A and B are shown apart, each in its own frame.
Chain A
C-alpha cells in the first residue's frame, strides 16, 4: 500500500477548499453553462417546517433567480406530520413524497431512501444534497459543494466540513467532526481505510455528487449512508475522486448522547457489511497502528499522527513462575 500520509497531505493540498474561493457566482454560472451541466438540489425532509421555508427562500432567490446555478430545487419527504411540504411548496420548491417515487420499489422510511429516490426523480448531472435542519442557511451550502465539480472534471464527490472555531483567536487548533466521527468513524477509518481519514467530517449531511457515481453505489437508508458512500466511492475511484469544502459553520439541533448511540449502531452495521462484502472479515487486513486526527492553522489543515499499539499480555496462568508460586501445576 502507498504511504497514506503522503497521499493525504497531497490531497489536502489540492482537493480541500474554502467556500470563499468560490465567491464569484457570475463566473461559476458561466463555467457551469459552458460545460452544459445541469444541477439539482435535493433537500430530504421529515418534519422540518421550522427551517425548510427559509432554506427554500434563500436557495431559490440566490441560486435560481439571481444567479442561475441550480436548475431545480426538490424537497423529498419521508411523510412529515407537520406542514413541511406545504411551506416548501409555498416558496416555490418542487415537493415529492418519497413513497410516490418509484412505487414499484416500495417505500422504506429513512433519509437514505430519499437521497436514493432523488437519483430517479431529479434530472441533474450533479445532485447536491443539503439537510433541512440548518438554522444558519446561506448560499455557500450549495456553491461551496458544486463549485469543485464545475471547475474540476476529475472530482466526483464533494463533501462539506465545518470549521469555525468559537474561541481560538490565532494559532493551531484541533479540527474535526462531531462525537460520532471522532469516537467511532475516525478510529475505524484509521484502522481499515487510512486515506479516508482525510475527510474532516465524514458524516456531514451536505454533499454534491455526479450522477454517474450516484447510480453505481448502494444506499443504506438510515444512519450509515454517508459512511458507506465514502467507502464505496473510495474503493471504485480512489481518494482523488473526492474533494471537501469548508463551509465555516453550521447551526443545527444538538443531539443527545442516546441519539448518537443509535447513529453509531447504524453506522457500525453499514461498516461491517462493507467489510463482509469486501471479504475483509474472514481475512482481516493487517490493522494500522497510526491514528489520524486533524489540526488547523488558519485555513491550512494537517494530519496529526499518533502511533497507538495495543500490546497485550497473556493470561497470568500461562506464566510458569506464576504457576510455580501458587502451586498451580
Chain B
C-alpha cells in the first residue's frame, strides 16, 4: 500500500485545477448555518455534471448523489452496500461577510476556506478523482453535503438524513478541510447552552442609581466565577468552554440583559450530565437571589461514541497516514461524525490539508499537502470497500 498510496497522490496532481477551482467556487458562496441554499445548488450542479445517480435534496436541505458500484447492474440500489462520504455545507460566517478567495502560489486564502469549502470541494471532485484513478468500488458511494452542523444547527442535516434514508450505510467518512493527519473516530459527549440574565434596575444614564448599578454584568460574573470553580476530572477528559459573553452598551448605563454561551465536552456522557446539573443549580440560585431573572437554555447535545483505536478502519487510516509520512493526530469530534456513531455506523473524520487561521478572516489552506490528503481519502475508501464487518470481531 505505501507505494500505491504515494502513486495516487502523484496521479492526482493532474486534477489540481479542477479541485482548486471547486474550492474557490465553494469558498466564494456564502453559506451560513440555516442559509446553505446557494452552496447546495452549486453541489447539485456539480453532481449533475458528474452524472451521479439519485441526485436529491431532502427536507433538511441536504444534497445527496450516488456514484453507483461496479456491480450496480446486478443488484438493486437497496440491496447494495453503501459507503457515505459527507462534508458539511455550512460555514461560521454571516452571508454579508466578504467571502472573496485569493490564491498565492502555495495557498488559498479566504473566510471558511478550510472549514469547510475544501471539504465540500473534495466531495464534489471525488467522482472525477475516482475516474482519473480508474477506481470502481464494489459499494455504492453516497456523496452527501449536509446542512446545519454548527451552533444551533445541532447537526440537524446529518441527523435528518440518517434518520430517513433507506440506504444501508456500512461506514462513513466526514471531510474537513484541515488539518491533514487529523483522525477522528470517536465523538465527545457535549452540551451547548446559553445563560440569559435579565435585571430590572434603573436604566437612566444621569444622576445616582438606586440599588445595584452593575446589573446583568455583575450577576453574570458571579455565575462565571462559580462555573469556573466546578471540579473537572482528569479522566475522562472533560472541559467547560466559555465561548462568549455579551452585555451592556456603554460606560454609564447599567446593563439589564446579558448572555453567556458555553459548551461542556467530555469523553463520558455521565460527566456532561453531572456538570450540566451543577450549572443548572448555579443558575437557579442566582435567579432565586432576585437581582435578576436567570435562565439556562440547552441548544445542542451529543452523546459520546467511539469505534475504537483498533477498529480495522481506524487502523487502516492510521497506517495510510504513516505511509504518506504524516503523523496521525487523534482527536475526538463533535461534528457530523457523532451522528454516525450515535447510530452505530462506523465512521471517521479526515482532514484534507494543512492550514491556519480557522474561523478567522485570514483562514488559509496549503495547496500541496492536499494531494496527500486526497490519497489518504482514496485509500481509506478502498479499504472500507473491501472490509468485511466480521473481521472486526476477530
Chain A contact residues, CB within 8 Å of chain B: 49-51, 53-54, 56-58, 60-62, 64-66, 83, 86-87, 90-92, 135-136, 138, 251
Contacts and interface: CB of A to CB of B under 8 A. Distances in A.
Contact of A65 (B18, B101, B103): B18
B60 interface: no
Contacts of A58: 21, 24-25
B24 A90 contact: no
Given A60-B17, A61-B18, A92-B17, A54 B105 contact: no
B104 interface: yes
B104 A53 contact: yes
B297 interface: no
B100 A135 contact: yes
A53 B22 CA distance: 14
A90 B105 contact: yes
A61 B21 contact: yes
Contact of B102 (A53, A56, A62, A86): A53
Contacts of B28: 136
B17 A61 contact: yes
Interface in B96-121: 100-105
Interface centre among B17, B20, B104 (most CB of A within 10 A): B17
B50 to A, nearest CB: 11
B17 A136 contact: no
A54 B101 contact: yes
B261 to A, nearest CB: 33
Contacts of A64: 17
Interface in B11-55: 17-18, 20-22, 24-25, 28, 49
28 contacts: A53-B102, A53-B104, A53-B105, A54-B24, A54-B101, A54-B102, A54-B103, A57-B17, A57-B20, A57-B21, A57-B103, A58-B21, A58-B24, A58-B25, A61-B20, A62-B21, A64-B17, A65-B17, A66-B18, A87-B103, A87-B104, A87-B105, A90-B105, A91-B20, A91-B103, A92-B17, A135-B100, A138-B25
Interface of B: 17-18, 20-22, 24-25, 28, 49, 100-105
A95 B17 CA distance: 17
A91 B102 contact: no
A83 B25 CA distance: 23
Contact of A136 (B18, B20, B100): B100
A66 B49 CA distance: 10
Nearest to A61: B21
A296 B28 CA distance: 28
A53 B24 CA distance: 11
A51 B101 CA distance: 9
Instruction: Give the top 6 A-B pairs by smallest Cβ distance, nearest first.
Output: A53-B103, A61-B21, A61-B17, A90-B105, A54-B103, A57-B20
Contacts of B49: 66
Given A60-B17, A61-B20, A92-B17, 11 more contacts: A50-B102, A53-B105, A54-B102, A57-B20, A57-B103, A58-B21, A58-B25, A65-B17, A66-B49, A90-B105, A136-B28
Interface centre among B18, B100, B103, B104 (most CB of A within 10 A): B103
A55 to B, nearest CB: 9
A56 B20 CA distance: 10
Nearest to B99: A136
B177 to A, nearest CB: 16
